[in-house]
Amino acid sequence: MKSVLRIPVTALILPACREASPPLSGADSSARTSTSAAELAPSFAWDLEDIRKRDTLIVLAPYNSTTYFLYRGEAMGYEYDLLRDFAKDAGVELRVVLVQDRDSMFNMLRAGKGDIAAACHVEDAQRLAEANKDDPRRWSDVSYWLLQKSKREVYTKPMVRYGFSRGIEPVTYVAIILDRFDHYKQFVVDRALPGGP
């Protein structure tokens, strides 16, 4: 009988949704302000050509362990990596603007202070799983709801804080990690360590 390894989704990606202090250097932290009347202005509609004309993709992002962080002076993060690759493919520079909370992120997006918001969609999927009596700690349940967030009837539910998400990128990312883990398991010898019980 083959044993099943259950890795809690929180061990893989949930830390992205925990608040942390932004770095003192690196990204533009000017977004750490309260909501102003200008931020509540009507939505802007940039398209890729507008972004190319200004030669910069402006990403609004929280500072956390998955979306965007600095490690030894180097910018990192799953969503940062995706957006960096997108910016490179589009032929533009990437500029990250740090935001303190979800509300300021979306208010700034509506005010035209950024082109895209990097958000914690996995946390939404966990809330959806729990609300639908699925296990918010089991990846198969969470990934299902992450993919469902592309449907208007799902991403407009009250427990969904971060709105629309295609979901396919993080679901694929985790699938690759779990496949690689399964591959590496074959090389692990199941034996007690020296000095152990």
List the chain domain ranges.
1-119, 121-187
Q: Provide the Cα torsion 173, 179, 180, 183; round to 10°.
A: 180
- What architecture (CATH level 2) is domain 1-119? 3-Layer(aba) Sandwich (3.40)
Q: At how many degrees (to 10) do helices 121-131 and 139-148 cross?
A: 110
> What's residue 135's pLDDT?
94
Quote the pTM value: 0.51
Mean pLDDT of 28-36: 40
Does 31 score more than 80 pLDDT? no
Pairing, β 74-76 against β 56-61: unpaired
> What's residue 187's pLDDT?
85
> What's residue 6's pLDDT?
35
Mean pLDDT of 58-69: 85
Does 28 score more than 60 pLDDT? no
At CA 123, angle to CA 119 and CA 126, rounded to 5? 150
